[in-house]
Amino acid sequence: MDLITDFEWFNDKGMVVTFDSHIYQQTPTMNFPNEFSYYEEENELAVIGVRWNYNGQPIVFPDVWYAGSLPTPNMDKVIVTTIELLGKYHSKLFGELHQKKYTTAIYNADGSVHKVVEMPYPIMPNLGRGPTRDEKPETSKVYWCRKKVDDYSMLIKLGYHDAWEERYFNPETGEIGGLFSNKSYGYY
């Protein structure tokens, strides 16, 4: 089976952040420079994409949520979260903001859709002011989680207004499981 190679995030100003699975296995976080996702001078969000190679062919997704896009631990699939802008609204705290819809899908190494992820309702009742049992998450971030040496699973962090839950995620089935730990929920 051929695997994903040369996975990277890029933005519309030519900046690139390369994924290195060996470094990521030691510290499963990606540090993106502030200017990668936001252009302070223009007061604009950057357009960010992901790309990788499969069998020598480039696979490109030009407009994604970078924190929700990551290859799977066995490097045969990619989780990609896209953003759809729905309009603007006014926040007392932050001023004018964009209302967004996030869609997370699992893609095969060749770029074909494996599965669209169905976002679950929250497990923890009354997280913050916003979530209720009938609300699905607004955002998602994905991570690798070390189970033991050279054995990784995935986690997904689901955002509900001003709160979040961190849950197990199966990149083969798209299933979102239980809480990662007793401390895997909280407030932004």
**How much is the average pLDDT of 46-54?**
89
- Take residue 15 and report the two structure tokens written for it: 């900046």
Tally of domains in the chain: 1
Residue span of the structural domain in which 177 resides: 5-187
| pLDDT tens-digit series, residues 150-160 | 567 888 888 87
Instruction: Produce one character per residue of 3-27: b if its CB has 16 or more CB atoms within 10 Å, e if not.
Output: ebeebebbbeeeeebebeeeebeee
* pLDDT of 40 above 80: no
| pLDDT tens-digit series, residues 9-29 | 998 888 888 887 766 665 556
- Rounded to the nearest integer, the mean pLDDT of the chain is 78
